[in-house]
């Protein structure tokens, strides 16, 4: 399948201002475009979290929640307590319409969450075209000991030493991988991702 919408150019973006503006413009058509191209990582992340026997009432921050596709997958898997944040106010407005989040707010780049969450999800977020590699350490620093993070690295991130290095640094500091699995990310463009559940 060809890429003719926003998906075609998203992985070339850099800089929080450009990322925010791009996703603001994409918000109306994001769900339809990703559904059409077979966006599989949200369901895979939700299943990975289930596989680690994370309680259904764990308070989860869906970081970079976008329009709520990732939160919806988590709610479908039985996770009931969701907060969400994102750089893009227009994406957040779409997430609000899904009525699955207890709280939603606009986040600032480089600012860590407040440390109140049992789990942080970063689904399709830490990637070229979205959040930079240092986001991984920032999010892990906002978890209590024993806190969990479910996240994906797509093939672009897996090929980028900055992203791979951020994960290696976290592991060297004692973060553990509870679950790891490689599979389809956006299946109709042939892009895969590795899904991880990490524990601090
Ligand atoms: C590919 S979308 C994924 C959205 C959602 N998690 C999903 O699975 O559909 C990436 C999202 O990350 C957000 N984002 C990018 N960089 C970010 C950052 N530094 N902090 C918070 N959100 C960010 C974008 O605005 C966008 O909504």
- The string of pLDDT tens digits covering residues 86-101 is 999 999 999 999 999 9
The CATH T-level fold of domain 7-199 is: Rossmann fold (3.40.50)
pLDDT tens for 92-150 read: 999 999 999 999 999 999 999 999 999 999 999 999 999 999 999 999 999 989 999 99
Nearest CA to ligand 1 atom 4: 66
Residue 2 CB contacts under 8 Å (≥ 6 apart), including other chains: none
User: What distance in angstroms lies between residue 88's CA and the mean position of ligand 1's atoms?
Assistant: 8
Distance, CA of 75 to CA of 46 (rounded, Å):
8
Within 6 Å (CB) of ligand 1, which residues are found? 16, 19, 23, 42, 64-66, 69-70, 86-88, 91, 107, 109, 123-125, 130-131, 135
**Per DSSP, which regions of the chain are E strands?**
59-63, 81-86, 103-106, 119-122, 148-154, 176-186, 191-199
Distance, CA of 92 to CA of 115 (rounded, Å):
21
Each domain of the chain, given as residue ranges in start order, spans: 7-199
Give the sheet arrangement for strand 191-199, strand by strand.
Answer: 103-106, 81-86, 59-63, 119-122, 148-154, 191-199, 176-186
User: What distance in angstroms lies between residue 66's CA and the mean position of ligand 1's atoms?
Assistant: 5
User: What distance in angstroms lies between residue 91's CA and the mean position of ligand 1's atoms?
Assistant: 9
In this prediction the pTM is 0.97
pLDDT at 73: 98
pLDDT tens for 27-51 read: 999 999 999 999 999 999 999 999 9
């Amino acid at each position: 399948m060809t890429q003719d919408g926003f998906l075609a150019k998203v992985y070339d973006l850099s800089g929080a201002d450009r990322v925010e503006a791009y996703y603001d413009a994409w918000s109306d058509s994001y769900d339809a475009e990703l559904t059409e191209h077979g966006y599989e990582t949200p369901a895979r992340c939700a299943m990975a979290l289930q596989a680690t026997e994370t309680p259904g009432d764990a308070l989860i921050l869906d970081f970079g929640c976008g329009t709520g596709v990732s939160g919806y997958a988590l709610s479908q898997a039985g996770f009931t307590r969701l907060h969400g944040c994102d750089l893009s106010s227009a994406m957040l407005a779409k997430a609000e319409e899904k009525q699955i989040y207890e709280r939603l707010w606009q986040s600032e780049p480089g600012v860590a969450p407040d440390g109140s969450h049992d789990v942080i999800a970063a689904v399709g977020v830490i990637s070229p075209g979205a959040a930079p590699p240092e986001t991984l350490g920032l999010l892990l620093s906002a978890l209590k000991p024993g806190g969990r993070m479910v996240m994906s690295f797509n093939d672009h991130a897996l090929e980028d030493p900055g992203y791979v290095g951020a994960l290696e640094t976290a592991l060297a500091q004692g973060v553990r991988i509870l679950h790891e699995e490689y599979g389809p990310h956006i299946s109709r463009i042939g892009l895969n991702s590795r899904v991880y559940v990490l524990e601090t």
